């Protein structure tokens, strides 16, 4: 059965004596109107207005940005006077507020944008000029937000898009389940001035989409079931021109996705399988296929997770949230690229029907899989999704995103997501996207050494755990058996879930991060630009043809 965009949020689908309800899950109590994308309240008190201005730190001296110079001139040199006092304390990621600069602003946050000559840092694999803007803007917005400012204007400096991303991300609050009385007003952010407005709008689109991913990932499991996640995709993506089809258990069984169903059968909540299709008339035929793991709650199954870790595993659908956010970005921008997405969604629960250690299931491509660890359910789900997506869409490239292994977090400490690829060109594209967005990938090996460790059982084709250490590499080696074209695997366990340590100033600690939604969208953005350039070159006549 298909659930299309024509289904309203409250419609019940009757099936004999039973039914399941496809609902939009409100991110706030009933009766409180809200922006479904990011959880913004509409009743914003605009009485407290703030401004973020930046300064560059050049050795031991501070240099005002052009916007800061304008504000300083308007204030009669008051800004410079404050800077003289703060010179030794103002460092990257820190901000200070002053209240006597201009009467129209209840508070002005002075923040540091780092060195003026910052740029691409090879050792850090990041564009420090852009990331410094994010750090500075994020620190300033969060400080003004804590002071009760409801409308904040931001100095965009030399990177309005990066400033907008940071402003949107820093202004976000997750307070959907607080009572009305205890909620704080949402901060609206905008750029100061008009120069660079198009870039600011672009950055806002990126930031708001990541906030949507944060909201989806952070929802409690009883408020974000597989059906709820499918409905959220329908509600947001269909109005943007994305075709979304949500299939239930009956359809999944008809497709013979036995590996996926082995995971889903432990839960009473019906599994869903999402197909999302974005098409551009200006793009070549072969699409990019996105695949994502959508486990709305992961108990670990019979290989039960530790109680302390289980709370965070409502975010095991962070991969699905990231892919949906990336689709939202490319559809909003109407990029000239064809993208398809397949997302298996279910819960991994303990019950009398759940999969057992030692079970053997067949994937959609006929390979047999021995289930050695029920907590490695993502490999089973993604196997069927990858085979189905490639068979149906015949993609030019496959990109899968999943919270796959705890080993990536141990390896990178949350500083980067793990990246595996069978294509050097594809890896370079991911790396370039991470440089721009600040959400960096780190490449792990995809060697035959790991392949042998998951295929060394004489009784079955594959083992879902394998032998030895290096779980991120073993997980990627497993998935490699289900792809037949250029492929990128993003293991986002270290960045997609709760941000606990090393959090950047523009993200909120102890909340889901929505990473790396901007990197995935930037990758698709760059692929679209490359395709458009090639198409333009192909249409231009060669010198011989022109002379003829």
Which residues of the chain form CATH 3.40.220.10?
A: 49-173+187-195
With a pLDDT cut of 90, the percent of the chain lying above it is 79
Residue pLDDT, tens place only, 219-262? 999 999 999 999 999 999 999 999 999 999 999 999 999 999 99
Which pTM does this prediction carry?
Answer: 0.90
Q: What is the pLDDT of residue 137?
A: 98
Q: What confidence tier does 499 reach under pLDDT thresholds 50, 70, 90?
A: low
Do 499 and 507 contact (CB within 8 A), yes or no? yes
| 200: its two tokens | 């600011």
Backbone phi and psi for residue 106, each to the nearest 5 degrees, phi listed first:
-70, -25
Give 419's strand partners: 443, 490
CA gap 230, 440 in Å, rounded:
29
- Residues designated as active site: 305, 379
Helix 318-333 vs helix 226-237: angle between axes, to the nearest 10 degrees? 10
Which residues of the chain form CATH 3.40.630.10?
A: 221-533
Q: Is 109 left (phi over 0), alpha (psi -120 to 50) or beta?
A: beta
Residue pLDDT, tens place only, 176-222? 899 988 888 889 999 999 999 999 999 999 999 999 999 999 999 99
Please check the confidence at residue 377 and state whether its pLDDT lies above 80.
Answer: yes
Please check the confidence at residue 16 and state whether its pLDDT lies above 60.
Answer: no
Q: What is the pLDDT of residue 535?
A: 57
How many CB atoms are closer than 10 A to CB 415? Answer: 12
Contacts of 427 (CB under 8 A, 6+ apart): 419, 421, 443, 488
Query: Considering only 82-86, 105-109, 427-431, 538-542, which range has the smallest mean pLDDT?
Result: 538-542
Please check the confidence at residue 47 and state whether its pLDDT lies above 70.
Answer: no
Q: What is the pLDDT of residue 282?
A: 83
Q: What is the pLDDT of residue 510?
A: 85
Q: What is the pLDDT of residue 501?
A: 65
Section 399-417 average pLDDT: 94
Query: Considering only 28-37, 298-307, 365-374, 491-500, which range has the smallest mean pLDDT?
Result: 28-37
- Please tell me whether the peptide bond between 516 and the residue prior to it is cis, using omega within 30 degrees of 0: yes
SS3 category, 254: helix
Sign (positive or negative) of CA dihedral 59, 440, 513, 509: negative
How many CB atoms are closer than 10 A to CB 201? Answer: 14
> Minimal CA–CA distance to 189: which of 215, 211, 218?
211
Q: What is the pLDDT of residue 197?
A: 97
Q: What is the pLDDT of residue 500?
A: 67
Q: What is the pLDDT of residue 6?
A: 38
- Give CA separation, 195 vs 66, 448, 451, 488, in Å: 11, 52, 53, 37
**How, if at all, do strands 120-121 and 360-362 pair?**
unpaired
Residue 243 exposed, middle or buried by CB count within 10 Å (0-12, 13-18, 19+): middle
Q: What is the pLDDT of residue 538?
A: 52
CA gap 206, 167 in Å, rounded:
11
Residue pLDDT, tens place only, 131-165? 999 999 999 999 999 999 999 999 999 999 999 99
Query: Considering only 131-140, 170-179, 316-325, 498-507, which range has the smallest mean pLDDT?
Result: 498-507
Q: What angle do CA 453, 478, 486 make, to 5 degrees?
A: 125
**How, if at all, do strands 417-421 and 397-402 pair?**
unpaired
**How, if at all, do strands 339-348 and 272-278 pair?**
antiparallel
Section 168-174 average pLDDT: 96
Please check the confidence at residue 33 and state whether its pLDDT lies above 90.
Answer: no
Q: What is the pLDDT of residue 536?
A: 54
Q: What is the pLDDT of residue 300?
A: 96
CA gap 301, 305 in Å, rounded:
8
Q: What is the pLDDT of residue 308?
A: 83
Q: Is 506 left (phi over 0), alpha (psi -120 to 50) or beta?
A: alpha
CA gap 260, 367 in Å, rounded:
13
Please check the confidence at residue 539 and state whether its pLDDT lies above 80.
Answer: no
Q: What confidence tier does 525 reach under pLDDT thresholds 50, 70, 90?
A: very high
Question: In b/e form, how buried is each residue of 207-238, taking b as 16+ CB within 10 angstroms?
Answer: bbbbbbbbbbbbbebeebbbbbbbbbbbbbbb
Q: What is the pLDDT of residue 330?
A: 98
Cα-atom radius of gyration of the chain, to the nearest Å? 24
Give 297's strand partners: 347
Please check the confidence at residue 497 and state whether its pLDDT lies above 90.
Answer: no
What would the DSSP string read from start to end of 414-459?
Answer: TSSEEEEES-HHHHHHHHHHHHHHS--EEE----HHHHHHHS--TT
Residue pLDDT, tens place only, 464-484? 999 999 999 999 999 999 999
Q: What confidence tier does 537 reach under pLDDT thresholds 50, 70, 90?
A: low
What would the DSSP string read from start to end of 354-402?
Answer: S--TT-EEE-TTS-EEE-S-TT-HHHHHHHHHHHHHHHHH--SEEEEEE
More confident residue, 184 or 432: 432
Please check the confidence at residue 44 and state whether its pLDDT lies above 70.
Answer: no
**How, if at all, do strands 243-247 and 462-463 pair?**
unpaired
Query: Considering only 34-38, 179-183, 317-321, 350-354, which range has the smallest mean pLDDT?
Result: 34-38
Please check the confidence at residue 18 and state whether its pLDDT lies above 50.
Answer: no
Q: What's the CATH number for 49-173+187-195?
A: 3.40.220.10
Residue whose token pair is 């069984």: 253
| 544: its two tokens | 């011989």
Please check the confidence at residue 15 and state whether its pLDDT lies above 50.
Answer: no
> Minimal CA–CA distance to 324: which of 283, 278, 287?
278
> Minimal CA–CA distance to 532: which of 336, 288, 332, 334?
336
> Minimal CA–CA distance to 516: which of 430, 458, 411, 451?
430
Q: What confidence tier does 29 reach under pLDDT thresholds 50, 70, 90?
A: very low
Residue pLDDT, tens place only, 70-127? 999 999 999 999 998 887 789 999 999 999 999 999 999 999 999 999 999 999 999 9
Class in CATH terms, 221-533 = alpha beta
Please check the confidence at residue 462 and state whether its pLDDT lies above 80.
Answer: yes
């Amino acid at each position: 059965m298909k659930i299309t965009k024509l289904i309203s949020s409250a419609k019940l689908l009757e099936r004999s004596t039973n039914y399941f309800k496809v609902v939009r899950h409100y991110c706030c109590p009933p009766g409180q109107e809200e922006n479904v994308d990011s959880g913004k309240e509409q009743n914003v008190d605009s009485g407290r207005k703030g401004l973020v201005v930046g300064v560059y730190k050049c050795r031991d001296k501070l240099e005002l940005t052009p916007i800061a110079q304008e504000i300083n001139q308007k204030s009669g040199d008051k800004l410079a006077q404050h800077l003289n006092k703060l010179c030794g304390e103002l460092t990257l990621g820190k901000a200070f507020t002053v209240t006597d600069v201009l009467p129209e602003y209840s508070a002005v946050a002075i923040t540091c944008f780092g060195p003026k000559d910052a740029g691409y840092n090879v050792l850090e694999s990041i564009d420090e000029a852009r990331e410094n803007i994010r750090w500075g803007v994020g620190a300033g917005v969060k400080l003004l937000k804590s002071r009760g400012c409801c409308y904040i204007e931001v100095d965009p400096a030399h990177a309005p898009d990066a400033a907008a991303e940071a402003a949107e991300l820093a202004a976000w609050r997750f307070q959907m389940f607080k009572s009305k009385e205890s909620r704080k007003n949402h901060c609206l952010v905008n750029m100061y001035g008009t120069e660079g407005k198009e870039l600011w709008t672009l950055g806002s689109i990126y930031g708001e989409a990541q906030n949507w991913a944060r909201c989806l990932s952070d929802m409690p499991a009883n408020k974000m079931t597989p059906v709820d996640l499918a409905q959220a995709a329908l509600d947001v993506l269909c109005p943007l021109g994305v075709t979304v089809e949500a299939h239930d258990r009956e359809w999944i069984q008809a497709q013979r996705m036995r590996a996926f169903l082995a995971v889903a059968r432990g839960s009473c909540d019906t599994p869903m399988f999402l197909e999302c299709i974005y098409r551009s008339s200006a793009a070549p035929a072969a699409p990019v296929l996105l695949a994502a793991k959508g486990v709305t709650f992961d108990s670990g199954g019979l290989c039960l997770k530790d109680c302390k870790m289980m709370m965070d595993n409502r975010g095991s659908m962070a991969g699905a949230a990231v892919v949906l956010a990336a689709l939202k970005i490319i559809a909003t921008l109407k990029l000239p690229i064809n993208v398809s997405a397949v997302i298996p969604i279910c819960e991994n629960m303990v019950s009398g029907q759940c999969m057992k250690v030692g079970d053997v299931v067949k994937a959609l491509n006929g390979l047999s899989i021995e289930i050695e660890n029920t907590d490695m359910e993502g490999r089973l789900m993604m196997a069927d999704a990858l085979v189905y997506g490639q068979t149906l869409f015949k993609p030019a490239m496959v990109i899968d995103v999943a919270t796959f292994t705890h080993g990536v977090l141990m390896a990178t400490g949350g500083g980067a997501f793990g990246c595996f690829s069978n294509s050097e060109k594809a890896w370079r594209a991911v790396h370039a996207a991470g440089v721009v967005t600040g959400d960096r990938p780190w490449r792990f090996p995809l060697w035959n050494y790991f392949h042998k460790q998951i295929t060394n059982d004489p009784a079955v084709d594959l083992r879902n755990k394998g032998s030895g250490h290096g779980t991120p590499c073993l997980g990627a080696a497993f998935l490699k058996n289900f792809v037949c074209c250029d492929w990128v695997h993003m293991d986002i366990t270290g960045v997609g879930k709760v941000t606990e340590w090393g959090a950047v100033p523009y993200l909120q600690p102890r909340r889901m991060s929505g990473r790396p939604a901007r990197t995935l969208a930037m990758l698709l953005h760059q692929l679209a630009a490359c395709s458009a350039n090639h198409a333009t070159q192909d249409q231009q006549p060669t010198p011989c043809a022109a002379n003829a």
